Amino acid sequence: MTNKKRVLITGAAGFLGSHLCDRFIAEGYDVIGMDNLITGDLKNIEHLFKLEQFEFYHHDVSKFIHVPGKIDYILHFASPASPIDYLKIPIQTLKVGSLGIHNCLGLARVKNARVLIASTSEVYGDPMVHPQTEEYWGNVNPVGPRGVYDEAKRFQEAMTMAYHTFHGLETRIVRIFNTYGPRMRLNDGRVLPAFIGQALRGEDLTMFGDGSQTRSFCYVSDLVEGIYRLLLSDYAQPVNIGNPDEITIREFGEEIIKLTGTNQKLISKPLPKDDPKQRKPDISKAREILGWEPKVNREEGLKITYDYFKSLSPEELNKTAHRFD
């Protein structure tokens, strides 16, 4: 028997899942990646297939999960995560957040593993409290376009907490705010790949509404560090991880135009229904409990991310249509 820790990461081929796989491999863990590849892409983890510490299961976690051998930690990151994705595949989004977490929690009980779930700032909906603290319960429209994602994530938190209190399972809940970096999908409809893709193709940047809505963008390595610390902490209540540096979408578009050196313009498109007007994490808990705060500022992070998108092939860059169209 080896003493090496073994971690199962669901959604391993996605943007965040793949960076987590890299981090746990680097920390000396054995990593089991699991993904049904609906929104994930094997390209994100192909560099890991040659490693003996890594194994991959092509599996939908909404169905019963069987993994032989011990598991120390389960990180549940499988889920469509952009508004375009969950509008196109709403039922899968609901299932992976509900049936998927139920399977993960059941597996964790059998394996005596600790579970960390990827929750989201979307549990706060269009927030009436700003910045958002973990104590805020949110302002979510259950039957609006974001309801399938927001409510699945809220249910996921409730289910996880129930396993913690009822079964004494070790659980962790991270509420992830907008995160960016290499391996984001160019066609996932999120604002950063949308803007950078448009700039690289010489198109105008589609700003939704008047661009006065705000977001706070966290670079992926900072997020991964926060998640890693939370997993190893003994804190079972939800923790916000995000960068509190808030910016309007208009200013963000202007930054992208400057960064890419194009002479494109920002053009206004209709604001989608229930688009949160403001979002900024209160990270006091992460600071206190995990000794964590973000290190990478937007200028540095955007530069790395832009270099990644620039390195993509013209075919990839031109894949503007979403893959479910």
Query: CB of residue 168 vs ligand UDP: minimum separation in angstroms?
Result: 34
CB of residue 84 vs ligand UDP: minimum separation in angstroms?
7
The single residue among 18, 44, 62, 178 that binds ligand UDP, judged by CB under 6 A, is 178
CB of 249 to ligand UDP, least distance (A): 5
CA distance linking residue 325 with residue 323, whole number of Å: 6
In terms of CB distance, is 206 or 318 closer to ligand UDP?
Answer: 206
Nearer to ligand UDP, 106 or 209 (CB): 209
Applying the rule CB under 6 A, the residues between 272 and 291 that interact with ligand UDP are 272, 275
Active-site option among 29, 73, 149, 180: 149
Residue range at the interface with ligand UDP (CB under 6 A); choices 15-23, 72-80, 186-194, 226-234: 186-194
- List binders of ligand UDP among 189-228 (CB under 6 A): 189-191, 194, 206-208, 213, 215
Closest CB to ligand UDP among 72 and 203? 203
45-64: contacts with ligand UDP (CB under 6 A):
none
Rounded least distance, CB 196 to ligand UDP, Å: 11
CA angle 89, 93, 99 (to 5 degrees): 135
User: What's the closest the beta carbon of residue 208 comes to ligand UDP, in angstroms?
Assistant: 3
Q: Applying CB under 6 A, which of residues 12, 148, 249, 296 lies at the interface with ligand UDP?
A: 249
Characterize the bridge pairing of strands 246-248 and 214-216.
antiparallel
149 has catalytic annotation: yes
The interface with ligand UDP within residues 66-105 (CB under 6 A) comprises 82-83
* Interface residue list for ligand UDP (CB under 6 A): 82-83, 178, 189-191, 194, 206-208, 213, 215, 249, 272, 275
Active site residues: 149
